[in-house]
């Protein structure tokens, strides 16, 4: 079947729809801390005028993606379709589930897959376990790279200057008393993770939790994701977690990488 001229895109800015971009920016504003928003709140989050935010929200309301109670807008179940568009078509997400499930069954711990998303780690697949790890870890959740094992594993594929440049663009912030924010120290930690083939985080992201992550390299050797596991500090020490989970996660990462 031949492609029509309308199927081609040359990347020119005048081909983009500013209104659609604003609407998507507003949709990204809804999360656990903002389950609903007024027009002014949506405008502030998306960096657009109240008039533009109003038009976008009314369009989303008409399309069924948000509801309105007279003051607040909030997402409807239709929003799930947007996430499924990626999860149902991405080779990475589709192939990963089998390997995550296998690792979960051996470890009896939740195992997750994360990728880059604008300087943060975005969970795109997860195999839950009987152990309750953290209500904040789920598909769609984003974590800061500097304090998470997933972020450090993703960064470990970069050169030193690239790592330092990353921390300049996304300055580390203190999340817990244990969070390391010194760029020199973080750069060394990331480089060490590259040498070891895995990264850890001990109560730097959340008190009482530590995690382990390994990079997933595709057939060309490029790091495209990480597979990670988290556990309560009161149940297992970080050294024990590494001994127990590293071989399992490494096998899962290698198996997944061969499919990409």
| Cα 22 to Cα 12: distance, rounded to the nearest angstrom | 18
Which of 32, 47, 78 finishes a domain? 78
Structural domains of the chain, count: 2
Residues 170-222 pLDDT 10s:
999 999 999 999 999 999 999 999 999 999 999 999 999 999 999 999 989 99
Q: Is residue 158 part of a domain?
A: yes
pLDDT tens string 89-138: 888 888 999 999 999 999 999 999 999 998 999 999 999 876 654 546 78
Q: Any residues with CB less than 8 A from the CB of 253 and at least 6 apart, and which?
A: 99, 214, 215, 216, 217, 226, 227
Domain residues for the domain of 98 are 90-258
Is 0.85 surpassed by the pTM of this model? Answer: no
Domain co-membership, 176 together with 247: yes
Indicate the residue among 78, 99, 115 that finishes a domain. 78
Same domain, 163 and 54: no
Do 191 and 238 fall into the same domain? yes
Nearest to 252 by CA among 95, 142, 117, 115: 95
The residues, any chain, with a CB within 8 Å of residue 35's CB and separated by 6 or more, are: 74, 75
Q: Considering Cα of 157, then 158, then 159, then 160, what sign does the dihedral take?
A: negative
In the beta sheet, which residues pair with residue 127?
111
225 plus 140 within the same structural domain: yes
32 and 97: one domain?
no
**Other beta carbons within 10 Å of 202:** 17
Report if residue 7 sits inside a domain. Answer: no
Query: What CATH number should be reported for the domain holding residue 57?
Result: 1.10.10.10
Residues 67 and 120 in one domain: no
Residue 192 within a domain: yes
Q: CA dist 151 to 7, 36, 119, 218, Å?
A: 36, 29, 9, 17
């Amino acid at each position: 079947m031949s492609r029509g001229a309308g199927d081609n895109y040359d990347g020119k800015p005048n081909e983009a729809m500013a209104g659609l971009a604003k609407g998507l920016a507003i949709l990204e504003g809804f999360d656990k801390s903002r389950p609903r928003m007024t027009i002014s709140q949506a405008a502030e989050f998306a960096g657009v005028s109240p008039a533009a935010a109003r038009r976008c929200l009314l369009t989303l309301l008409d399309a069924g993606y948000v509801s309105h109670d007279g003051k607040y807008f909030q997402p409807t179940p239709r929003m799930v379709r947007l996430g499924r568009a990626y999860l149902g078509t991405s080779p990475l997400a589709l192939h990963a589930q089998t390997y995550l499930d296998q690792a979960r069954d051996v470890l009896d711990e939740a195992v997750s897959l994360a990728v880059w998303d604008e300087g943060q780690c975005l969970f795109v697949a997860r195999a839950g376990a009987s152990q309750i790890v953290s209500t904040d870890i789920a598909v769609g959740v984003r974590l800061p790279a500097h304090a998470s094992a997933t972020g450090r594993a993703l960064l470990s594929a970069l050169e030193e200057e690239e790592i330092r440049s990353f921390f300049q663009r996304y300055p580390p912030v203190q999340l817990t008393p244990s969070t390391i924010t010194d760029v020199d120290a973080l750069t060394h930690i990331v480089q060490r993770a590259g040498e070891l083939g895995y990264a850890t985080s001990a109560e730097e992201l959340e008190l009482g939790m530590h995690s382990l992550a390994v990079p997933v390299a595709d057939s060309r050797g490029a790091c495209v994701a990480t597979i990670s596991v988290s556990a309560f500090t009161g149940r297992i020490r970080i050294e024990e977690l590494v001994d127990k989970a590293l071989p399992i996660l490494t096998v899962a990462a290698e198996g997944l990488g061969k499919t990409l």
